[in-house]
């Protein structure tokens, strides 16, 4: 598929490999007592800062948040003038992932809208377990070809 590439750890540059490791580290802090599915996300911003997030579940589903949204919203709240350049998203539960690992639909929409807001793509690095293949996606828009857009619905 166009814009999606398989990588090995050796093919990543040092900054991307470090970002992937940060995502694995924060996945350990996920609060996932219901799904037992631990996800971590690490976003490198245009300033070079790294903002992380892990999934945070709640028994009152869907009150919890996925790691990608935690990281994206934290970046937007704490560093509103920085854009997200790249986000590594991982799970430590690789054995539960069949056919690859990627953000859910809600996260795809949030990442897409983040791209729209900052007027440039967010490169994604995905890994469904330390021994799983690494997938690089050129833009979150690649994962959501029919994204919901507010334009034309009364939004500015």
Q: Which residues of 24-35 are buried (b: 16+ CB within 10 A; e: fewer)?
A: bebbeebebeee
Strands (DSSP E) found in 92-133: 123-127
Task: Give the tokens for residue 58.
Answer: 């709640």
Annotated catalytic residue, options 10, 18, 68, 115:
68
Say whether 69 sits in a helix, a strand or coil: helix
CA 16 distance to own-chain centroid: 13
68 belongs to the catalytic site: yes
Closest CA to 39 of 50, 24, 61: 24
Residues 6+ apart with CB under 8 A from 113: 147
What backbone phi and psi angles, to 5 degrees, belong to 52? -115, 160
Active site residues: 68
């Amino acid at each position: 598929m166009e814009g999606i590439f398989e990588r090995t750890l050796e093919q990543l540059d040092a900054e991307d490999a470090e970002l992937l490791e940060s995502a694995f580290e924060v996945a350990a802090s996920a609060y996932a007592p219901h799904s037992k599915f631990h996800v971590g996300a690490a976003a490198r911003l245009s300033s070079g800062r790294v903002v992380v997030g892990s999934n945070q579940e709640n028994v009152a589903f869907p009150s919890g948040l996925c790691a990608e949204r935690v990281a994206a919203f934290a970046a937007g709240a704490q560093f509103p003038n920085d854009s997200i350049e790249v986000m590594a998203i991982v799970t430590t539960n690789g054995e539960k992932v069949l056919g690859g690992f990627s953000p859910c639909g809600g996260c795809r929409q949030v990442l897409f809208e983040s791209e729209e807001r900052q007027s440039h793509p967010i490169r994604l690095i995905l890994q469904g377990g330390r021994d799983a293949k690494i997938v690089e996606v050129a833009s979150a828009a690649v994962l959501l070809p029919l994204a919901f857009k507010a334009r034309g619905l009364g939004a500015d």
